[in-house]
Structure 1
Amino acid sequence: MTTSGGEQGNRLMEVVAAEGRELEADFGRLEAELDPGERRRLADQILQRLAAHAAARREVLYPRLSRDVPDGDSMVDLGILGLDQVERTGREIADLSGAEATFHHLVTKLATEVWEHLDEEESEVLPALVDAIGVDAANELGDELARAETAAPR
């Protein structure tokens, strides 16, 4: 018998939490940077990480959520809306050099969108998925999600 997600930690939750910590550190470095060229480089790193994040969600997490969680399709739809917004803001940032007055505002907007997306995943999506599939399957899914993010083009 598999254990419910509420009874112990699992690799899926750990992978997502680690992503959040890494992104928080990346955004912190970007917001503290004053050199426009370095700001642009750091923004590119974040955008590449977010592209890998989105690809892994669409390829690994969302199909499982849709299949295994009651009303999972609605959760997937909301997740995709969040990813689409992050991608739109990312495209706005990608067009800037890092020296524009709007750069900081857009980075702050992007960070807020990312936190909202990750908070929704951690508080609603992942607990429902872990409860539906059990901890053993969540551990495997966490490993698969981590591999997908690493394998995504950066």
Structure 2
Amino acid sequence: MKRRLFIGVLGNRNSGKSTTWNTLFGATVRTGRHTRTLALYGGECVEVFLVSGSPEERQLYAGDILDDQDCRIVLCSIQYIETGRRTLDYAAEGDFDIFVQWLNPGRSDAGENYDRLGLVPWLVGHGATVSMRNGKEPPRERTEQIRQFIYGWAKSRQLTFACP
């Protein structure tokens, strides 16, 4: 059983990654230096660390952002470009269970995209759970899928607590 959970939202630029996090938290959120509380269900919450602007867009290595972070649940935007694999490598090499939601098509994409980078088979080969969601649709259902995954993972590890 893995000790940590990595939730990635993967997509092209302007695909809806930040909108996904904003909807999940019910407010505009940005990467911080500290963990934040995420409301789940029935008055239960969990602590998470958010990397809203993808490391790729910020021209940073995910490890430089996350190496000093010991939060058990990491939420991270990942841009669908070749260097996005470095972020996924970081998660695969760490003690993370991995769930990636690929926004395909993304909000600004002309249509669905072929996985030209081969990330889906790579993720599956590394034991990740992968979901493809339409970034053109309202974000409620895709954020609910993420919330349910986090809840099941955190609850089974007794990481949930009563919301403040």
**TM-score normalised by length of structure 1:** 0.29
**TM-score, normalization: structure 2?**
0.27
Higher strand share: 2
